[in-house]
């Protein structure tokens, strides 16, 4: 049996028609195995599962109608940037570093941009003109072919020219008493042979460097694109509080670091320009006669032979040296399917940790304090009431209040390539992934990665709305029993359920334990609803307009915030900062009819 991690339902293998990598896990995993080892990750389908699947079942791939081969290559390089950054972030921050933690691209990514031995070797080869010198004056060998030519054009006879002439009378000019006057003869024709071993090495080196630099360019462009997106935030019509939050999030990554964002941008753009320049030069060499003269099918082993030309010719010797540097610095060893699987299992661990830290920081931003427990975290909000964040260590978190589910969050450590139907995720369920390579507009799918600008705030907005839905529903629910007169009197003239400490003391004298608990909860919820949803400042009485328990409007006196929010039960609406859907936790509307 399988567990569908998206829906949390069990699935029979014969019910699976396509496998989204990372979506399914084996239920009957061995107890000694960790959870990531039970995941069905591309490219390996366990043998015991494979025999139960339909023959045509395979791992889902990006749609060929939507994605070209180049798009897929770009996605692969983007994922490499993402996981390079995630590994650096996880190495940099501990679980308790929520005040310092930043989920955005870290300054340490510059280590991946600093020119390595191969980059320096490529630059040196172009500076010395080695490749262009070989291109203009390649070494060649002499090749002799036999060809039937007019006598006047023959410079060297073929070894068999006499035998051929005797056997072919059509090549005779005339026959005389003493012999034959030939009209045509078999001759040796010499021709320069370009496709020698050393030139094949040259051509394949150009291919290898071109592929290496093309992949490097794609990774650099991902970083540049992210930096450019960040730079255009001010003109994006986003809420100023939203922009401030993103700025603070990325700014923390550089706190205590000698490097700045501007330095990273300059370094990346400089490296990108250098790579593009090298690619242009390689493209020029690929279009010239020497490269075109080498058959595409002509290959050489990774380890070069020590030929006289490669050893003694200055230019070819440098080509051989650059080949060995490429061999040393490029990841040209193809991983076995098992090695790919192990790498993806490790990525799951890393992504789960990264999303976990990001999620915890979201709750801190929302004003909750976290206390670690054996099963996750206890959440408290200004000592009013609590929630529980359960983490199963299986890439899933459950936000719970009084046993009722507020939100369920599932992480998929692989790029999403298969559409998730709307009915597969309920309104309180969210799927987190590093890349979404579908055209699905399912609002429950959220991309969170170091190079995704908005993912964290989208998640924060979704969770904040889910919390408010549950809390408002609890606030509007009547007491289960008729209140004693002494307690009923406490609410006379009040527009909400908030009681002072003295009034709570009076209520405690006249209520049993269960009723008093409900009274305290409603008082705390009343207090919570009058706290700013953005900065958690308590609204001053002068900033609250309330006519009944079914309506209030409030504003924040914090000059850096100035948020406004309102609850209108008759209209079934809760609004923050005039609603909207593009500003995460800083502006939204909740339709209470569907809460």
Record the tokens describing residue 404, joined without a space.
Answer: 């009722």
DSSP-derived secondary structure letter, 254 = T
Query: What are the respective helix, strand and coil percentages of the chain, to the nearest 5?
Result: 45, 20, 35
Query: Model-level pTM?
Result: 0.88
Task: For residue range 174-205, list pLDDT tens digits in order.
Answer: 887 777 888 888 877 655 578 889 999 999 99
pLDDT for position 84: 95
CA–CA separation, 206 and 284 (whole Å): 11
CA–CA separation, 352 and 344 (whole Å): 12
Tell me what the mean pLDDT of segment 238-254 comes to: 90
Tell me what the mean pLDDT of segment 581-585 comes to: 88
Tell me what the mean pLDDT of segment 32-49 comes to: 86
Maximum C-alpha span of the chain: 148
Neighbours of 431 (CB within 10 A): 22
φ/ψ (deg, to 5) at 313:
-80, 125
pLDDT for position 105: 94
Exposure letters 117-130 (e unless 16+ CB within 10 A, then b): ebbebbeebbeeeb
Residues in the chain: 595
> At which residue do the structure tokens 């699935």 appear?
11
Q: Are 278 and 115 in contact (CB under 8 A)?
A: no
Identify whether 43 is preceded by a cis peptide bond (ω within 30 of 0). Answer: yes
pLDDT for position 202: 95
Tell me what the mean pLDDT of segment 478-507 comes to: 91
Record the tokens describing residue 504, joined without a space.
Answer: 């709570």
Task: For residue range 506-555, list pLDDT tens digits in order.
Answer: 999 999 999 999 999 999 999 999 999 999 999 998 999 998 889 999 99
Q: Which residues pair with 589 in a beta bridge?
A: 575
- Please tell me which residue, 462 or 154, carries the higher pLDDT value: 462
Tell me what the mean pLDDT of segment 337-362 comes to: 95
Residue 235 has pLDDT above 80, yes or no: no
Task: For residue range 282-308, list pLDDT tens digits in order.
Answer: 999 999 999 999 999 999 999 999 999
Tell me what the mean pLDDT of segment 444-453 comes to: 96
- Please tell me which residue, 360 or 98, carries the higher pLDDT value: 360
Element (H, E) at 356: helix 337-365
Q: How would residue 413 be classed by pLDDT, with cut points 50, 70 and 90?
A: very high
pLDDT for position 525: 92
pLDDT for position 255: 85
Task: For residue range 139-164, list pLDDT tens digits in order.
Answer: 876 555 677 778 887 777 777 878 88
Angle 376-422-417 from CA coordinates, rounded to 5°: 80
- C-alpha closest to that of 81 among 97, 105, 64, 61: 105
Question: 9-11 and 180-182: which strand pairing?
Answer: unpaired
pLDDT for position 290: 92
Tell me what the mean pLDDT of segment 6-10 comes to: 93
Strands in 573-576's sheet, in edge-to-edge order, are 544-548, 551-555, 564-568, 573-576, 588-591
Neighbours of 516 (CB within 10 A): 16
Identify whether 367 is preceded by a cis peptide bond (ω within 30 of 0). Answer: no
Record the tokens describing residue 228, joined without a space.
Answer: 């450019």
Average pLDDT of the residues of the chain: 89
pLDDT for position 247: 92
């Amino acid at each position: 049996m399988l567990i569908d991690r998206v829906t949390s339902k069990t699935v029979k293998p014969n019910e699976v028609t396509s496998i989204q990598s990372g979506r399914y896990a084996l239920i009957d995993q061995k107890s000694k195995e960790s959870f990531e080892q039970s995941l069905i990750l591309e490219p390996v389908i366990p043998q015991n599962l494979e025999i139960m699947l339909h023959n045509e079942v395979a791992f889902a791939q990006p749609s060929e109608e939507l994605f070209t081969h180049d798009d897929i290559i770009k996605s692969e390089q983007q994922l490499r940037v993402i996981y390079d950054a995630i590994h650096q972030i996880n190495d940099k921050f501990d679980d308790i570093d929520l005040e310092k933690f930043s989920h955005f691209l870290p300054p340490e990514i510059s280590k991946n941009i600093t020119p390595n031995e191969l980059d320096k070797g490529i630059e040196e080869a172009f500076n010395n003109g080695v490749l262009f010198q070989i291109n203009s004056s390649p070494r060649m060998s002499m090749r002799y072919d036999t060809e039937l030519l007019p006598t006047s054009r023959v410079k060297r006879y073929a070894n068999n020219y006499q035998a051929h002439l005797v056997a072919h009378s059509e090549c005779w000019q005339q026959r005389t008493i003493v012999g034959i006057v030939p009209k045509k003869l078999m001759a040796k024709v010499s021709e320069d042979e370009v496709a020698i071993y050393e030139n094949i090495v040259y051509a394949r080196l150009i291919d290898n460097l071109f592929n290496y630099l093309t992949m490097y360019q794609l990774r650099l462009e991902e970083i540049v694109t992210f930096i450019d997106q960040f730079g255009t935030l001010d003109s994006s019509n986003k809420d100023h509080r939203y922009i401030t939050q993103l700025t603070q999030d990325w700014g923390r990554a550089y706190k205590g670091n000698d490097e700045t964002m501007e330095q990273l941008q300059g370094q990346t753009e400089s490296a990108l320009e250098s790579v593009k320049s090298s690619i242009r030069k390689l493209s020029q060499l690929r279009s010239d006669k020497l490269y075109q003269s080498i058959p595409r099918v002509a290959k050489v082993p990774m380890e070069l032979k020590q030929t006289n030309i490669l050893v003694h010719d200055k230019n070819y010797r440098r080509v051989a040296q650059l080949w060995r540097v490429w061999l040393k610095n490029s990841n040209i060893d193809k991983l076995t399917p098992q090695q790919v699987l192990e790498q993806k299992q490790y990525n799951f661990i890393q992504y789960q940790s990264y999303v976990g830290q990001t999620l915890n920081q979201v709750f801190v931003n929302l004003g909750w304090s976290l206390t670690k427990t054996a099963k996750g975290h206890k959440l408290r909000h200004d000592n009013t009431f609590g929630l529980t964040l359960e983490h199963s260590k299986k890439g899933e978190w459950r936000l719970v209040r009084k046993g009722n589910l507020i939100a369920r969050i599932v992480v998929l450590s692989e790029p999403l390539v298969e559409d998730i139907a709307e009915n597969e995720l309920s309104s309180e369920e969210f799927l987190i992934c590093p890349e979404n390579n579908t055209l699905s507009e399912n609002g429950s799918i959220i991309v969170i990665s170091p190079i995704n600008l908005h993912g964290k705030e989208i998640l924060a907005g979704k969770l904040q709305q889910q919390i408010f839905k549950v809390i408002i529903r609890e606030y509007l629910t009547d007491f289960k029993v008729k209140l004693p007169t002494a307690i009923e009197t406490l609410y006379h003239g009040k527009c909400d359920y908030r009681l002072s400490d003295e009034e709570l003391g009076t209520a405690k004298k006249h209520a049993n334990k269960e009723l008093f608990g409900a009274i305290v909860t409603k008082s705390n919820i009343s207090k919570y609803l009058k706290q700013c949803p953005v900065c958690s400042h308590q609204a001053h009485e002068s900033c609250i307009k309330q006519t009944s328990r079914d309506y209030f409007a409030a504003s924040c006196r914090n000059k850096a915030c100035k948020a406004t929010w309102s609850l209108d039960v008759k209209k079934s609406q809760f609004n923050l900062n005039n609603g909207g859907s593009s500003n995460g936790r800083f502006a939204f509307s909740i339709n209470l009819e569907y809460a």
